[in-house]
Amino acid sequence: MAKPVNNLIDLLLNDNIKALKPYESARRLFSGAGNKQQVWLNANESPFANDFTIDAERFNRYPDCQPPAVIDAYAAYADIQPNQLLVSRGADEGIELLIRAFCTPGKDSVLICPPTYGMYAISAETCDVGIERAALNDDFSLNVDAIKAFKGKVNLVFICSPNNPTGTSVDKNQLLEVIEHFADSAIVVIDEAYIEFDKDNSWAAELTHYPNIAILRTLSKAFALAGLRCGFTLAQAPVIQALMKVIAPYPIPEPVAQIAAQALSSKGLVTLEQQVAVINQEKALLKSALAKFADVELVGDDKANFILFRTPQKSALMNHLVASGILIRDQSKQVNLDNCLRITVGNPEQNKQLLSEISRFFTLQTSTQEA
């Protein structure tokens, strides 16, 4: 018998994969964190869990690749044509499909504008696609000149608006300048995962004018369906047809399609609107309460369902909250976000609990300092 190679996996593993670590998603970071009733304010999920029904009658059949009930309902919701839409396993799969369809491994690159969402870079890395960076300005606006300098060097430009984790919306004119500058050389991917909290700033209505934009959407945030794994890419038909070449044959499980269609029904959209209103109201309360702490500085803007803030006591506060069963997200490793923490807006009860723990933390700090 041949001697087994004890480093077989090292031998076979792609060079670009060797250095990677599994993505530290909010859920992975805390998956084993105790059995207490945890308050999850770390992944920008909705605090609302809505009811759905499932019909098992067709579970013996493969599902449609692009279930018409979902495509038609979302196209109507976004006010675009069905042939300008792709449904995928979350917006995250949309990111990966764009990279796989439009970037040649080992040769092409994408451009990202940090601080921003982590999956653009992760997907590029796993596909052996290069990553260029044009950091946002200090006020988190686009550094348009820095971005424009990458013309001819990148195939995709990822721009997140409202941006995670800064909560800032990208200025229309800045974005327009970028889209026009890359008109004959790159697709500008506008990530609108949080657009329901910033309704007036969607680019969906502009799709028909720009062959080089793609818009990412999701049911994971405002629609309260992160567990469903359902997202969308909006673009002109040629872009969608290119993505259809790389998507799996049956990407949307039948139960997912059924639930997505219910979420997009007129009743589902009423629920969406009500819940977005509650979150916006809670966000305003949370923001003004946080701003009152001497050691808290609000950072960025509030155009999504989360709040970013800076505190010199970042690590101690994070530890205190985790010990109290409240999970939030450390963003301090991102450029320009030293000492920054991100809090997802929860339901009224969770937000109250959060504020009372933060208050307790700062009171304890002060009494320790005075002692």
Single-letter amino acid, residue 159: I
User: 112 forms bridges with which residues in the sheet?
Assistant: 133
Single-letter amino acid, residue 279: I
Residue 159 Cβ vs ligand PLP, minimum distance, rounded to whole Å: 10
Q: Which is nearer to ligand PLP, 154 or 193 (CB)?
A: 193
Under 8 Å between Cβ of 18 and 12:
no
Which positions touch ligand PLP (CB under 6 A)? 44, 90-92, 117, 160, 164, 191, 193, 218, 220, 226, 231
Q: Which of 199, 223, 352 is nearest to 282 (CA)?
A: 352
Residue 360 Cβ vs ligand PLP, minimum distance, rounded to whole Å: 30
Q: Which is nearer to ligand PLP, 142 or 226 (CB)?
A: 226
Task: Please give the biggest Cα pair distance in the chain.
Answer: 73
User: Distance between CA atoms of 196 and 185, rounded to whole angstroms?
Assistant: 30
Beta strands in 145-282 (DSSP E): 156-160, 187-191, 213-218, 231-235
User: Distance between CA atoms of 81 and 337, rounded to whole angstroms?
Assistant: 39
Q: Which is nearer to ligand PLP, 164 or 351 (CB)?
A: 164
Residue 164 Cβ vs ligand PLP, minimum distance, rounded to whole Å: 4
Tokens of residue 352, six digits:
């109250």
Residue 117 Cβ vs ligand PLP, minimum distance, rounded to whole Å: 4
Q: Which is nearer to ligand PLP, 231 or 346 (CB)?
A: 231
User: Distance between CA atoms of 152 and 313, rounded to whole angstroms?
Assistant: 43
Residue 265 Cβ vs ligand PLP, minimum distance, rounded to whole Å: 20
Q: Which is nearer to ligand PLP, 119 or 134 (CB)?
A: 119
Q: Which is nearer to ligand PLP, 84 or 220 (CB)?
A: 220
User: Which SS3 state, helix, strand or coil, does residue 145 take?
Assistant: helix
Residue 370 Cβ vs ligand PLP, minimum distance, rounded to whole Å: 41
Under 8 Å between Cβ of 308 and 340:
yes
Q: What letter would DSSP give residue 73?
A: H
